[in-house]
Chain A
């Protein structure tokens, strides 16, 4: 082994804790990246598998404008006099779907024509333990995947409870299905169409007809289908579903990169320390004839060694924590987008390459500075004490200038009128990086002022602490910068979440104008798109104590730009108040809305489809394509997928759909709400369909709970960034303590007690923490502003009022101080317990 390398390994093993902290810093950064990658990839893979299963070999699907097709229509199509249509229909199968829970597991209940089962499960599908024909003859019988049966401990032919919406029903699993396709139908319950119609209380309807068509056959069929039916390419449907979660996943990736950025500071700190500590050794080596290139290679090799060990450790940590993160991600996808169950972790080679690549790249960038510094210095400089620190002190000024330029560029990038989410994140990261480069000079300035004030009025210990911070700026500045980045992201995200929550509360208060709500259980996503029994509204209206009923029908409809949620509302005295409209509506909005001339578009819809008041949207209706004008844009935090609203009378006219999905009930002021609620509930229970009845307040609470669950993953990532920063501060302070070993020993020899020395060190760490916290506050507020105005808008199309509550700012400052103080405890203890004799001898 070359002597230089031996010297290097000897040094690293002597400074084990410093090396360990550096490795841990890299490991945590890489772990966060890989965990987020695994969570995203696993969720996407589960989504793809479920799509593959549902879609099977289907190339196209027939859907109706109203979202469901009557059984009779299907039979009509199969017997269509046009041979092309009838032949196309023979390639497929009718399908009805629902999301259910069986024995504690979430399943996609798929009602299919059993003769076409191989289309879903593959050609060599096997059913063990049961007779398939029982599915046809026996009510409420299902097939489940063999692995799911084992996982949930379900025995064949035993009664099980199936939960659909808030209704529980008894079913039996009569056989285990094994399919020769990826996923093996995991997460699916297969039943006959009639069974699913019975369970979901949707008699005589199907959701769609799946077909396998050639492009020519598809083109011909599309032309010949009746006006209210349309042919959709299966791939297009999958892609639009996948698009829904893309922004959410991009946001997670950006948060994980923040942890890596903080990790970069630790590596920089460790490598600087490694250079400073060995300045004399490097000086001697240079005088002995070692070249600059050799020294450079030596330091970079050490950094790469850290990076390799850290990345390997990070991969292991990330994979271990990936499962927890997957649960958080899928919970949010379930809450906001669609039902999804992830059964396996996908560790894609590309994810590993990405995470390790990020770790190595950040390490190389972070180590480059110290390596160039050591290689570029003259031997006499290296031999001179503090020459590197002195040079670092000069660099701090230039770093500040570069930081201001970067921060300004970041701010400028955010102002570019673009819709690119990537550019938005680049802007924020540039801004953060810029401000973090300014932290050392700001810290030196603050510590200098503090020292000056303490020199006049305060004790010498305060002068010593403040000047100590300023004089070791290459060490303390880096620690403060790492802490600033982590804390500012905590504050920024905290303020954004708070602003969002406040806007959501205001929106919910405005939207939930009724006292009670009755809704048909949702089949998809978070919209109440089921059907309430036709007689329900009239029976409720007759109840004593009801002031007013507002009816709504929610369904997915087709527009030229794709599927969209549409709500048809029957105007009531509170309709206008129920929509939080943005400024700039059409004239006579409400009268024209009620007349069916105008529709309303939600903010996300308007943003994503680039439409505004006065623009027209073309709908595929039972009357063919129909154009309607947008009269106003309203806030809607219910979904980022977009929502359109129109008068229910107009909706009925266009879609021939008299169904009601939800009912808002305003109770008379003098009536007892609880009594009315109980009576409403007793009426809804008389119908054999799943119906949800809720108080206004219950919906509010549940909505806020969903909101909090959505941001749970963000909280976890923020805490991880703070954890990495904590390691950064600890690493910097440990290095500082080692560098100051002799100075501390002199203080102790002069009569300073261990306690006084420890409090001196803790004062120094407090200065670092408080300055980092103080800088993090304005940076966090700017970050919050960009997250609200750039990231949220570009990701989801939502706008919101920014509110800056005191708590996230105070807690950020306290967190910075607390983290620094906590990180200071170990170095302070070490310094206080230091053996004085060797420390005084060291030179």
Chain B
């Protein structure tokens, strides 16, 4: 990748979903364009139904735009087939979900080991890295616990750890505090800020909360599928 290449380049992206009756359609995204530099933290702010999650899925290659292009670390996603997209997600992208989405049958350590193993590092070889991260996450005592034995905040910390453990270039967080109480949400935000402070990783934070967007370097506001503001002061 050429130095200075943006971590993300989104150009004139459109996405349309058919309505329930199959005859009419719902325009979810209309001509969205923006770039995100490497190491930057960007918040995508908007109301429910504004198209934030759809945009996040397009950035991760989970969904494809009807028009326009998305480039991740200089790679145009349109040209990538499903296997290449999978490899891109496996190596370059980390996900943090609103509902944590931990694998219920794996322990905390094993959940963190999952991306490592998919990238060819066995659990045993990855253990030192896992332990170090668990310490940063404040979960060193919960290493062998299973998701259903953890509180919501703890689960989200594991989810953050899982998104960061293989050091992806891009981390996508979808409402990371959306399912937590205010106090726990704040703790998670602090943790995110602290973790990303010392890294060269790009973070895209989808949220409807101004508080959450406050930790971002830049805020992009989506309204009815259009980018209406790209500045903190214009944020919704």
- Contact partners of B162 in chain A: CB under 8 A: 750
Complex CA distance for A837 and B64, rounded to whole angstroms: 10
Is B196 close to A, CB under 8 A? no
How near does chain A come to B99, taking the closest CB pair, in angstroms? 6
Which B residues are in CB contact (< 8 Å) with A386? 104, 148
Residues of B within 8 A of A747 (CB): 103, 114
- Distance in Å from the Cβ of B62 to the closest Cβ of chain A? 4
Task: Decide: B106 and A463 in contact? CB cutoff 8 A.
Answer: yes
Given the complex, which residues of B lie within 8 Å of A470, measured CB to CB?
105
Distance between B11 CB and nearest chain A CB, rounded to angstroms: 20
Q: Which chain A residues lie closer than 8 Å to B89 at the CB level?
A: 749-751
The interface residues of chain A lying within 8 Å CB-to-CB of B91 are: 751
**Is A718 close to B, CB under 8 A?**
no
Contact residue among B53, B63, B83, B115 (Cβ-Cβ distance under 8 Å from A750): B115
Task: Tell me the nearest residue of chain A to B107, going by C-beta.
Answer: A455
Write the B82-123 contact mask toward A (1 if CB under 8 angstroms, else 0). Answer: 110011011100010101010111100010011101110011
| Per-residue B-contact encoding for A456-479, CB less than 8 Å = 1, 0 else | 000111011001101100000000
Docked Cα-Cα span, A461 to B106, in Å, equals: 10
Interface-central residue, A455, A467, A749, A841, by most chain B CB under 10 Å: A749
Complex CA–CA separation, A408 to B53 (angstroms): 58
Chain B residues with Cβ below 8 Å from A467 are 105-106
Quick one: closest A residue to B118, CB to CB?
A751
Contact string against B for A residues 728-747, beta-carbon threshold 8 Å, 1 for contact and 0 otherwise: 00000000000000110011
Q: In this complex, which of A470, A748, A750, A837 has the most chain B Cβ atoms within 10 angstroms of its Cβ? A: A750
Q: How far is the CA of A464 from the CA of B123 in the complex (A)?
A: 13
Q: Report how far A565 CA is from B110 CA in the complex, Å.
A: 74
Number of B residues whose C-beta is below 8 Å from A? 32
Measured in the bound complex, the distance between the Cα atoms of B91 and A722 in whole Å is 44
Query: Which residues of the other chain, B, contact A840 by a CB distance below 8 angstroms?
Result: 57, 62, 97, 101
Tell me if B60 is interfacial: C-beta within 8 Å of chain A: yes
Residues of B within 8 A of A746 (CB): 95, 97, 101, 103
Task: Kindly list chain B residues whose C-beta atoms are within 8 Å of the C-beta of A843.
Answer: 99
Cross-chain contact B117 with A750 (CB below 8 angstroms):
no
Cβ contacts under 8 Å, A743 to chain B: 101, 103-104
Residues of B within 8 A of A750 (CB): 89-90, 95, 114-115, 118, 162
Q: What B residues does A464 contact at CB under 8 A?
A: 103, 105-106
A4 at the interface (CB under 8 A from B): no
- Point out the residue from B83, B95, B105, B110 that lies within 8 Å of A468, measured CB to CB: B105
Provide the residues of chain A in CB contact with B122, threshold 8 Å: 459
Contact A749 B119 (CB under 8 A): no
Q: Quick check: B101 and A459 within 8 Å, CB to CB?
A: no
A232 at the interface (CB under 8 A from B): no
Complexed CA–CA distance, A468 and B99 (Å): 20
Chain A residues with Cβ below 8 Å from B106 are 460, 463-464, 467
Across the interface, name the chain B residue whose C-beta is closest to A832.
Answer: B82
A748: chain B residues at CB < 8 Å are 86
CB distance from B110 to the nearest CB of A (A): 6
Query: Does A287 count as interface, using CB distance less than 8 angstroms?
Result: no
Tell me whether A751 and B104 are in contact (CB under 8 A).
no
A interface secondary structure, majority:
helix
**In the assembled complex, which residues on chain B have CB atoms less than 8 Å from the CB atom of A320?**
none
Contact B90 A751 (CB under 8 A): yes
Q: How many angstroms between the C-alpha atoms of A756 and B90 in the bound complex?
A: 12
Contact B63–A837 (Cβ < 8 Å): yes
Chain A contact-residue range equals: 20 to 34
Q: Does the CB pair A837–B57 fall under 8 Å?
A: yes
Tell me the smallest distance from the CB of B206 to a CB of chain A, in Å: 12
State whether the Cβ of A753 lies closer than 8 Å to any Cβ in chain B: yes
Contact of B86 among A460, A461, A463, A753 (CB under 8 A): A753
* A149: Cβ under 8 A from any B Cβ: no
Q: Check if A628 is an interface residue, CB within 8 A of chain B.
A: no
The answer to whether B99 and A749 have CB atoms under 8 Å apart is no
Docked Cα-Cα span, A756 to B117, in Å, equals 12
Contact with A along B52-64 (1 / 0, CB 8 A): 0110010010110
Chain B at the A interface: SS class: helix
CA distance A143 to B89 in the complex (A): 85
A746 to B95, CA, bound (A): 9
Digitize B117-138: 1 where CB-to-A-CB distance is under 8 Å, 0 elsewhere: 1110011000000000000000
Chain B, range 38-86, C-beta contacts under 8 Å to A? 53-54, 57, 60, 62-63, 82-83, 86
- In the assembled complex, the CB of B133 is this many whole angstroms from the nearest CB of chain A, namely 16
What separation, in Å, do the CA atoms of A749 and B148 have in the docked complex? Answer: 21
Bound-complex Cα distance A499 to B48 (A): 71
- Which A residue sits closest to B119, measured CB to CB? A751
Interface status of A836 (Cβ within 8 A of chain B)? yes
Assess the B105–A749 pair: CB atoms within 8 A: no
What's the nearest-Cβ distance from chain B to residue A470, in Å?
8
CA distance A56 to B93 in the complex (A): 89
- In the complex, are the beta carbons of B105 and A752 less than 8 A apart? no
- Whether a CB of chain B sits under 8 angstroms from the CB of A67 is no
Q: In whole Å, how far is B14's beta carbon from the nearest beta carbon of chain A?
A: 16
A463 touches B101 (CB 8 A): no
Q: What residues of chain A lie closer than 8 Å to B54, measured between beta carbons?
A: 837
User: Is the C-beta of A754 less than 8 angstroms from some C-beta in chain B?
Assistant: yes
Closest to A451 in B: B105
* Contact between chains at B101 and A751 (CB < 8 Å): no
Closest residue of chain B to A747, judged by CB?
B103
- Are A463 and B110 CB-contacts (below 8 A) given A742-B101, A750-B115? yes
Are A754 and B103 in contact, CB atoms less than 8 angstroms apart?
no
Question: Quick one: which of A171-212 are within 8 Å of B by CB?
Answer: none
Chain A positions within 8 Å of B87 at CB level:
751, 753
Query: How far is it, in angstroms, between the C-alpha of A840 and the C-alpha of B95 when the chains are bound?
Result: 11
Could you tell me the distance between the alpha carbons of A752 and B123 in the complex, rounded to whole angstroms?
A: 16
B89 nearest in chain A by CB position = A751
Instruction: Scan A826-843; emit 1 where CB is below 8 A from any B CB, else 0.
Output: 000000000011001101
Closest-by-CB residue of A relative to B98 is A843
When distances are taken between beta carbons in the complex, the residues of chain A under 8 Å from B86 are 748, 751-754
- Which residues does chain A contribute within 8 Å of B60, judged by CB atoms? 749
Are B105 and A460 touching (Cβ within 8 A)? no
Bound together, the chains give a CA A746 to CA B101 distance in angstroms of 7
Contact A841 B53 (CB under 8 A): yes
Chain B: CB-nearest residue to A843: B99
CA–CA, A841 and B54, complex, Å: 10
State in angstroms the CA–CA spacing of A36 and B148 once bound together.
Answer: 50
Nearest CB of chain B from residue A447's CB, rounded to whole Å: 10
Contact of A749 with B118 at beta-carbon distance under 8 Å, contacts A460-B123, A464-B106, A467-B105 already known:
no
Name the distance in Å between A767's Cβ and chain B's nearest Cβ.
13
In angstroms, how far is the closest chain A Cβ from the Cβ of B191?
20
Least CB distance from B176 to A in Å reads 14
Quick one: which of B86, B110, B115 has the most chain A CB within 10 A?
B86
Measured CA separation A754–B89 after assembly (Å)? 13
> How distant is the Cα of A653 from the Cα of B113 in the complex, in angstroms?
93
Of chain A, the residue at the smallest CB distance from B88 is A751
A-side contacts of B97, CB under 8 Å = 746, 840
Chain A residue with Cβ nearest B126: A460
Chain B, range 153-174, C-beta contacts under 8 Å to A: 162
* A836 close to B103 (CB less than 8 A): no
Nearest residue, chain A, Cβ from B54: A837
With both chains docked as a complex, state the minimum distance between the C-beta of A170 and any C-beta of chain B, in angstroms: 75
Q: Which residues of B contact A (CB under 8 A)?
A: 53-54, 57, 60, 62-63, 82-83, 86-87, 89-91, 95, 97, 99, 101, 103-106, 110, 113-115, 117-119, 122-123, 148, 162
> Can you name 14 extra interface pairs (CB under 8 A) apart from A386-B148, A836-B57?
A386-B104, A459-B122, A460-B106, A463-B110, A470-B105, A748-B86, A751-B86, A751-B87, A751-B115, A751-B118, A752-B86, A752-B118, A753-B83, A840-B97
A-B contact pairs, 26 of them (CB 8 A): A459-B122, A460-B106, A460-B117, A460-B123, A461-B117, A464-B105, A471-B104, A742-B101, A743-B101, A743-B103, A748-B86, A749-B62, A749-B89, A750-B89, A750-B115, A750-B118, A750-B162, A751-B91, A752-B90, A753-B83, A753-B87, A754-B82, A836-B57, A837-B62, A841-B53, A843-B99
Which A-B residue pairs are the 4 nearest by beta carbons? A751-B90, A467-B105, A746-B101, A836-B62
